[in-house]
Structure 1
Amino acid sequence: MSTSLHHRAVEHLGTRIVGGTLPTGHVMLAEHLEEELNVSRSVVREAVRVLQSLGLVETIKRVGIRVLPAHRWNPFDPLVIRWRLAGEARGAQLRSLAELRSAVEPVAAELAAGNAPDALRQELMDISLAMREAGDAGDTARFLELDIRFHALVLSGSGNEMFANLIGQVTETLTGRTVHGLMPEHPQQQALQWHIDVAEAIHAGDGPRAREASDQIMRHTIAELAPIWESQPRVFVPVART
């Protein structure tokens, strides 16, 4: 099976479902997808398996492939995040991610100050200083690479494997903001300093200061992005009765 064909089928269907072109309840037939995408049945079958794993569709015998509502999707999967950031729900996705990060990253920074290995602490220091250089130079691509690495190290350095498993989500957030023009060409000096403050506090083993500086980063991020999501509705996930 061609990996590129499989990828194209997943991307084509995923973006249309998340973007609302294929609405909740819409039923697709495998044979129609073969014709539409000009791929084999095996490619369609594998693409549908991926979409099922993300909670986007379900297959029903003698009916077809049905699109599921948004509250059934896996909101933590990087693919779902990427597709939401590319569509009209961009604001709502940014809000959810920013709120998640604001709840997790300051705690992760505090934990990293107490638990991170020495090599990670030093790398974090080096990256925070390199971020300032890239930000001042307006090197967007380099800054994105460093920013992703910085936040990944903070999550990993916490020593909490569940926090570390949010690295993919943070990566898609930062990448999406850059790709869609939602990051300034020259980051604010105060924001750059807060990253250095986080790194210095973790390096020094000062948990409360690391948490406070990380919290400042997230408060700034939320204030910066809030206008984008003002009119976007929230997703309320039904709670099953026990």
Structure 2
Amino acid sequence: MTSLHGAASSLPASSAQAGSAAPAPVLHNSVLERVGIEIAQGIRPTGSVITLARLEEETGVSRTVLREMMRILESMGMIESRRRVGITVLPVSAWNVLDPRIIRWRLMGSERVAQLSRLTEMRLALEPTAARLAATRATPEVANELLDLARTLRTLGEKGEGNQQPYLEADIAFHALLLAASGNDMLTSLHGIVTEVLAGRTDLGLSPADPAPVSFDNHEGVARAILDREPEKAEQFARAVVMEVWKELGEI
């Protein structure tokens, strides 16, 4: 099993990457974010038409770049371009709602708590299974790395830094490694979704500075069960980790 040490810094849509990119891609991404957010939040409702001429006038971005941006949004299922009709915003049912960008854009809207709840329900279906598989497939090295990350979460959380970036990075790394440790490439591919959920909670101020101690116990429990080759315990502890989040969301 390949170690994912340092996964936190490589998984989210990186602002560092944006900062090192050439001006054109940065501008491209800026407009893509703007239009994507407007669609995701209903500012551009289903059935509304996007006019490239007007968008070009508003943003100062060339028609060529805008067309490329529209192709990206079309690949995400958010819009449809048809001759004589133009570019039309599609309903949510057509979107690739598991695209991390769409997840992030929806988490920035007024329905953020409902979106987090749906995503947490999905995590509840996936992560316990990943933990169970990891307990039969992960190497001792990976299991120990999970345990190290869980201990880092406890150390930072007990210092009241549960809503700070270092804690978020360790949390993302833990859950990304858990999915990878399952040995199932389909589960591993979902790391971007979990990343956006965890980052979204922090960005929205929904992550407590002082996480409940039981959260640390459960994270360590997952890692120890994987290390000890105990699939049922690993599954139970992973379920408890996600249930704690679900409980917090229900109290908002």
Partner of 1:44: 66
- Partner of 2:61: helix, strand, or coil? coil
Partner of 2:218: 194
> What is the TM-score when the length of structure 2 is the normalising length?
0.88
Partner of 1:100: 122
Task: Tell me if the contact between 1:98 and 1:221 (Cα under 8 Å) persists in the aligned partners.
Answer: yes
Cα RMSD between the aligned structures?
A: 1.1
After superposition, what is the alpha-carbon deviation per residue over 1:95-149, rounded to whole angstroms, capped at 9, x for unaligned? 1110100011001101001001222111011111111001111232111000000
Task: Tell me if the contact between 1:5 and 1:43 (Cα under 8 Å) persists in the aligned partners.
Answer: no
- Partner of 2:44: helix, strand, or coil? coil
Partner of 1:181: 205
Unpaired segments of 5 or more residues in structure 2? 1-22
What pairs up with 1:151-230 in 2 under 5 angstroms?
151-228=175-252
Greater Cα shift, 134-143 or 193-202: 134-143
- Partner of 1:58: helix, strand, or coil? strand
Are positions 1:4 and 2:32 aligned together? Answer: no
Greater Cα shift, 111-120 or 74-83: 111-120
> What is the TM-score when the length of structure 1 is the normalising length?
0.92
- Partner of 1:2: helix, strand, or coil? helix
Residue 210 of structure 1, CA deviation: 0.5
Residue 173 of structure 1, CA deviation: 0.3
- Partner of 2:88: helix, strand, or coil? strand
Alpha-carbon distance between aligned partners in 2 of 1:47 and 1:117, rounded to the nearest angstrom: 42
Partner of 1:53: 75
Residue 13 of structure 1, CA deviation: 0.3
Are positions 1:75 and 2:97 aligned together? Answer: yes
Unpaired segments of 5 or more residues in structure 1? 229-242
Residue 33 of structure 1, CA deviation: 1.1
Alpha-carbon distance between aligned partners in 2 of 1:143 and 1:159, rounded to the nearest angstrom: 26
Partner of 2:57: 35
Alpha-carbon distance between aligned partners in 1 of 2:96 and 2:104, rounded to the nearest angstrom: 12
Alpha-carbon distance between aligned partners in 2 of 1:33 and 1:168, rounded to the nearest angstrom: 30
Are positions 1:15 and 2:64 aligned together? Answer: no
Q: What fraction of aligned residue pairs are identical, expressed as a percent?
A: 43
The code of the aligned residue for 2:96 comes to: N
- Partner of 1:66: helix, strand, or coil? strand
- Number of paired residues? 228
- Partner of 1:65: helix, strand, or coil? strand
- Partner of 1:59: helix, strand, or coil? strand
Partner of 2:165: 141
Alpha-carbon distance between aligned partners in 2 of 1:58 and 1:171, rounded to the nearest angstrom: 28
Partner of 1:124: 146
Runs of 4+, deviation exceeding 6 Å: none
Are positions 1:85 and 2:111 aligned together? Answer: no
Residue 227 of structure 1, CA deviation: 4.0
